[in-house]
Amino acid sequence: MSLAAGPKFLLLDEPMAGMSVQESAAVVALLQRLKRQYTILLVEHDMDAVFALADRISVLVYGKILFTGTPDEIRNHPEVRAVYLGEEEAEA
């Protein structure tokens, strides 16, 4: 329905919520094709989908931006790993 009006920009708020792994993979594949034609702002908690789709990611914690970067920068940022990706930093 969103594409019927010929938008210039797509805002998608958790489109994979409640989907099976197979359904999620189908949406990711569709969005990968669409990102060549549209600017897409994706709000999503499925980090596998986010990493597969995003060129730039902003990680929010309690409504504030913790860090913005490429998928590789996000994966390797120590605070993001500790706070959002669920990996605690090793204590010295």
CB atoms within 10 A of CB 71: 16
Percent of the chain topping pLDDT 70: 91
pLDDT beyond 60 at 48: yes
Residue 50 pLDDT exceeds 80: yes
The pLDDT value recorded for residue 87 is 60
C-beta atoms surrounding 82 within 10 Å: 12
Residue with tokens 């938008």: 7
The answer, yes or no, to whether residue 92 has pLDDT greater than 60, is no
Scanning the structure block, which residue is given the tokens 């949406």? Answer: 27
The two tokens of residue 68 are 């913005």
pLDDT at 45: 87
